[in-house]
Amino acid sequence: MTTSSAARAAVTIEEVATAAGVSRSTVSRVVNGSPAVSPEAVEAVNRAIADLNYVPNRAARTLASRQTHAIALIVPEDTTRFFGDPFFASVVSGINARLSQSDYVLNLVIASDDPGDKTTSYMRSGAVDGAIVVSHHTSDTYLDRIAAVVPVVYGGRPVTARERDYYVDVDNRRGGYEATAHLIATGRTRIATITGPLDMPAAVDRLQGWRDALAAAGLPEGVVEDGDFTTDGGAVAMRRMLATDALPEAIFVASDLMAQGVLSVLAAEGIAVPDDIAIVGFDDSPVATSVSPQLTTVRQPSFEQGEQMANMLLDRLAGLEPDHVTVLPADLIVRDSA
């Protein structure tokens, strides 16, 4: 750092006040946007700030305004799942795209090993102005304590939805229906499903969509296995199906990651997709086009979901009253697996 740049970095609010010919408190009011300052004083202070290259102390401004301009993204999952699932990358990209147009920064809180005490304490400390919560489970009851401290927007329908909750969801039930209806339209009648964890609303809704489509077609429900929304979980679930007496003709797999595991097992067993078993996934993540055959899947608009969650929370923090619920469509994308 040069001597001149060091001097500029060291400029204080008192020096600005002296250069502008006003008091320190007047400079503080101008910096914080107070209307209780004459136009002449505002002009003098702003001119001094520009001449001295003064950078306001954000910590001091935070204490004065009680705003941090920080938002927490709370993810009640372990790091392996967070960094290994393309869904999270897309959601975070959407959140960041919206926050980049604001003064807010994003703090990531991965709360897998925390019963909620540490995360709740962090929220209560005043470190952030609000929170976005994604991938929540029935057991994550501490989220209610967080919602009592700061404004919260949920990614997906909360486990126990209440009128006061704000959330941006995807039409998972309709997506599950469309996936299964597509399999039925190909002539399959024995249709199984591999679900995500059923303590998560998204997994429950996709399972219900599968049931709705079978009922509408007058078909019996097939085998249901839990694949934990992971590649390994999908593989294990597929092996359990192979151990039964009758193989399904088709499977609605409720995430692309699980479908990746399913395809690997079927390929190892010499079972052709879609000729022997048709597969439809869910997400339309990069996984869908990296596997062979490429996945027919339901597109989950996760980037847009991230944008919408951030926008909803920013509106709340600005004192506006956005709609409590936004539900985004889930569209079927037909490729080679079904």
pLDDT, tens digit, for every residue of 121-164? 787 778 888 899 988 777 666 777 777 778 899 998 887 777 78
Distance in angstroms (rounded) separating the CA atoms of residues 138 and 196:
13
Of the pLDDT bands very low, low, confident and very high (cuts 50, 70, 90), residue 91 is: very high
For position 238, what pLDDT does the model report? 97
Instruction: Please check the confidence at residue 245 and state whether its pLDDT lies above 90.
Output: no
Indicate whether 76 pLDDT > 50: yes
Reported as a pLDDT band with limits 50, 70 and 90, residue 189 is very high
pTM listed for this prediction: 0.76
Give the residue-averaged pLDDT of 26-39. Answer: 72
- Compute the distance between CA of residue 115 and CA of residue 198 in angstroms, rounded to an integer: 20
What is the separation of C-alpha 51 from the centre of its chain, rounded to a whole number of angstroms?
Answer: 43
Rounded distance between C-alpha atoms, residue 222 and residue 190, angstroms = 6
Q: Which domains, and CATH codes, for the chain?
A: 3-65 (1.10.260.40), 70-170+302-328 (3.40.50.2300), 172-300 (3.40.50.2300)
Alpha helices in the chain (DSSP H): 3-9, 13-20, 24-31, 39-52, 58-65, 79-84, 86-99, 117-124, 143-147, 172-185, 201-216, 231-242, 256-268, 287-290, 302-317
The answer to whether the Cα torsion of 94, 97, 98, 104 is positive or negative is: positive
Say yes or no to pLDDT of 6 above 70: no
